[in-house]
Amino acid sequence: MIIFEEELKKFHKSLEMGDAESDIYEKQDEGDVVEVLLNLAQNSDSAVAGEGDVYNE
């Protein structure tokens, strides 16, 4: 059974030309899984390096 009001809530306004610029910036700033992985890799490297420093002391 379709309830009009409920269905209407599922409709969202489309992006207009004026909103394109902000949308582009927003999308460009979005992260991806590759970035997450790289951050993890860098953190783990620095953690290892940090541990090494402590160990050397």
Partner 1 sequence: MKCFNCGCDLTELEYCTNCGADVKHYKKIIYTSNRLYNEGLERASVRDLSGAVRALKECIRFNKNHIDARNLLGLVYYETGEGVEALSEWVISQNMRPEKNVANEYINALKNDQGRLENIKTSIKKFNKALDLCWQDSSDMAIIQLKKVISMNPNYVKARQLLTLLYIQKEEWEKAAREAERTLKIDCGDLKSLRYKKEIEAVLKQAADNKRGRRKKKEEVTAVYKTSGNETIIQPVGVGDSLGINVFVEIAIGIIIGVCVSYFIVLPARISSVRDEANAKASEYGAQLDEKNAEITDLEARITELQADIQAQKEMIDGYSGSNGTAEINDYLMAAAYAYLDTGQDNMTVDEYLEKIPDDYLDDGASTEFLDLYSYLRGGIGSSVAERFYEKGIESYNSRDYEAAIECLTRAYEYNPDSDDALYYLGLAYYDNGDVNSAAAKFNELLEKFPDSLEAEKASQHLEEIGD
From the CB of 12, what's the least distance to partner 1, in Å? 8
Dihedral angle computed from the Cα positions of residues 22, 23, 24 and 25, in that order, rounded to the nearest 10 degrees = 50
Q: Which is nearer to partner 1, 32 or 57 (CB)?
A: 32
Query: Which positions from 17 through 56 interact with partner 1, judged by CB under 8 A?
Result: 17, 19-20, 23-24, 27-28, 30-35, 37-38, 41
B/e letters for 6-17, b = 16+ CB within 10 Å, e = fewer, are: eeeeeeeeeeee
Interacting residues with partner 1 (CB under 8 A):
1-2, 4, 7-8, 10-11, 13-17, 19-20, 23-24, 27-28, 30-35, 37-38, 41
